[in-house]
Amino acid sequence: MSTVAPPPDAVPSWCAGPYADALRAGRGPLFLRRTDGWLLPLDVERWCAAPDPADLSALRRCAEPVLDIGCGPGRLVAALAALGRRALGIDVSEAAVLHTLALGGTALRRSVFETLPGEGRWGTALLMDGNIGIGGDPAALLARVAELLAPRGLLIAETAPVDIDERVRVHLDDGRGLADPGEAFPWARIGTPALIGHARAAGWQVADQWSADGRRFVALRRRDPHEEAEGRAARAVPDAQRARATADRPTAHSPAAHTPKAHSPAAHTPAVHTAAAHTPTPRHPRPAPSSRPDRDADRAADHARTANHSAEPANSAAVTSSQRVRNTSAGSAVDRS
């Protein structure tokens, strides 16, 4: 069951009037007419023909099973079925559903905002031919499609060929003044840049975007909630580590910022050197200049020392002479005896 409420007047009466007539005839003209009279042409002839190269460029990107939202006359559903691929079309128009069944496709008369089979298990959802405008609220439509797709499912949307993001109220008009008698219903026209902006805001990932035959397409990938949870958990670990590191880092006002860092004693132990390496060479201090009386006393001491040195040789000579006299006397005495 959908948790996304459909926008007001999201399901107009497409069962009768110009739209049903155009599908039965297989051709237009058919327009969406704004309340100000501006007309947006609808390419009924292409819708009722076989898929063209631009259509096939989208179908090649589809993963099964495929849900074609607003399938119209069913050319895409029928083409997928012909290839043996599982696909279902939904449309609010009975004429569109009958046309799809006639081509060999499978379709239900259902709004995208109603309960649908296989919710949360579709591999690809298609919003072709401007159907991104269904309901007039692209954000609500993207949210609803996210409910329908499986995790990592793909949405392929055809966007307006111009850069636009417009919300309008429109009537169906056959160009001859025979407008749908029903009330105007909400519609949106949205270009590629605007759709990507809405999608990213809603958590979609852009898988691809391309152009073919003048038409523009965007492929959006639904994020897997489990992968998102795992990603958040993985990111939380470094975040927590950074938080702890930031908490541990001292600030200018924290006590740790002014606390000296603790180092090993060896880091601040003075280096041991040998005494010889740093023992200063002893110097004899130069005597300070003395006064005049001190100089005179020094000279007198020097003269006395000089006199003593001079007397020592004389004394030595006298001693030697005396010794010789005694020796001679002693020798004579020996001889006489």
80 to 45, 62, 119, 136, 215: CA distances (angstroms) = 20, 10, 20, 28, 20
| The predicted structure's pLDDT at residue 223 | 79
* CA 128 to mean position of chain CA atoms: 32
pLDDT over 50 at 80, yes or no: yes
CA distance 160 to 133: 10
Name the residue among 3, 46, 5, 4 with its Cα closest to residue 22: 46
Higher pLDDT, 318 or 9: 9
Please compute the mean of the pLDDT values over residues 271-280 and round it to a whole number.
Answer: 44
Lowest mean pLDDT among 118-122, 251-255, 331-335: 331-335
| CATH T-level topology, domain 18-226 | Rossmann fold (3.40.50)
* CA 199 to mean position of chain CA atoms: 18
According to DSSP, the β-strands at 31-34 and 165-173 are: antiparallel
Chain mean pLDDT for the chain: 77
Name the residue among 48, 55, 49, 17 with its Cα closest to residue 33: 17
| The predicted structure's pLDDT at residue 309 | 46
Phi and psi angles of residue 72, each rounded to the nearest 5 degrees, phi first: 60, -140
Name the residue among 157, 165, 172 with its Cα closest to residue 28: 172
266 to 261, 262, 275, 286, 320: CA distances (angstroms) = 14, 12, 21, 43, 74
CA distance 42 to 173: 10
Structure tokens at 16: 């009768």
According to DSSP, the β-strands at 66-69 and 122-127 are: parallel
Which residue ranges make up each domain of the chain? 18-226, 295-327
* pLDDT tens per residue across span 20-63: 999 999 999 999 999 888 999 999 999 999 999 999 999 999 99
**3-state secondary structure (DSSP) of residue 143:** helix
| The predicted structure's pLDDT at residue 227 | 61
Name the residue among 140, 137, 100 with its Cα closest to residue 3: 140
- How many CB atoms sit inside 10 A of residue 140's CB? 18
Structure tokens at 334: 């020996």
Determine contact, residues 67/222, Cβ cutoff 8 Å.
no
Confidence of residue 320 (pLDDT cuts 50, 70, 90): very low
Confidence of residue 17 (pLDDT cuts 50, 70, 90): confident
CA distance 311 to 224: 125
Name the residue among 59, 18, 15 with its Cα closest to residue 42: 18
| The predicted structure's pLDDT at residue 217 | 98
- Percentage, residues of the chain above pLDDT 90: 55
Highest mean pLDDT among 16-20, 130-134, 235-239: 130-134
CA atoms within 13 A of residue 167's CA, in its CB half-sphere: 9
Q: Phi/psi zone of residue 85: left (φ > 0), alpha (ψ -120 to 50 degrees), beta?
A: beta
| The predicted structure's pLDDT at residue 176 | 80
Lowest mean pLDDT among 46-50, 69-73, 313-317: 313-317
Lowest mean pLDDT among 159-163, 245-249, 276-280: 276-280
| The predicted structure's pLDDT at residue 238 | 66
* pLDDT tens per residue across span 232-256: 666 666 666 776 766 666 555 555 4
Q: Tokens 């010889």, residue?
A: 276
DSSP 136: G
* pLDDT tens per residue across span 201-214: 999 999 999 999 99
CA distance 35 to 135: 16
Please compute the mean of the pLDDT values over residues 215-242 and round it to a whole number.
Answer: 73
Structure tokens at 42: 């609808």
Lowest mean pLDDT among 46-50, 110-114, 226-230, 238-242: 226-230
